[in-house]
Amino acid sequence: MKARWMANKASRWITGAAIAGVVAILSSCTAEKDPPETTVSWLAPQTRAAKPFDCPIPMLSAMPNADYQEIAIVEVTDDYNADNQEVYGLLRRKACETGADALVVLEDQRQERGKPLPGNSADEGKDVGDTGVNVSSREHNAEVGEEGHKGRILNAVAIIYKRASSASDSGNGSP
């Protein structure tokens, strides 16, 4: 009798452990997200050395009143629910790599999950009304709101001041 009770207890423990394992595996799969993507597009020759990744680069919300040169466009795309601190931190690190004096945020868009915009279909090649045939994902870069876009985009311009000037002279604060 005691042996049967021990076998039932062991069976329950093994079943519970198996269920917990399956739940852990499934929850880890849903918690994974695509890593953020960054792009630096140079607008001028690279004449400055990269700064340390944690440089204190000012982030402006408008172009400064000082004499400056735009040297690069820095873009970060991430999931629609990405943490602001993470996204802006990545933007700063990429701007530091350009050697810029400041970063001007031009666009910060976020979409919520939902239906794709009209004219977009999950079925490649399917005719979707008067907008024509769906363009394959290899030939189209999805915009915010379209199927296939990560959901968050942050665009900024890295600038250098032509003469020594501080960001406080610009009259702009951080976004």
Confirm or reject CATH 3.30.300 for domain 34-111+149-170, answering yes or no. no
pLDDT of residue 174: 44
pLDDT of residue 172: 47
The structure's pTM equals 0.58
Q: What is the DSSP letter of 120?
A: -
pLDDT of residue 133: 47
73: left (phi over 0), alpha (psi -120 to 50) or beta: beta
Identity of residue 73: I
pLDDT of residue 36: 86
pLDDT of residue 79: 81
* pLDDT (tens place) for every residue of the chain, 175 residues total: 565 555 566 566 676 666 766 666 655 555 566 788 899 999 988 888 999 989 999 999 999 999 999 999 999 988 877 888 999 999 999 999 999 999 999 998 876 555 555 555 555 445 445 444 444 444 555 565 555 556 788 899 999 998 754 444 444 444 4
CA distance 142 to 119: 12
CA distance 69 to 28: 46
Domain range annotation of the chain: 1-32, 34-111+149-170
CA distance 79 to 83: 9
What order of strands is seen across the sheet that includes strand 151-161? 37-42, 68-79, 151-161, 102-110, 59-60
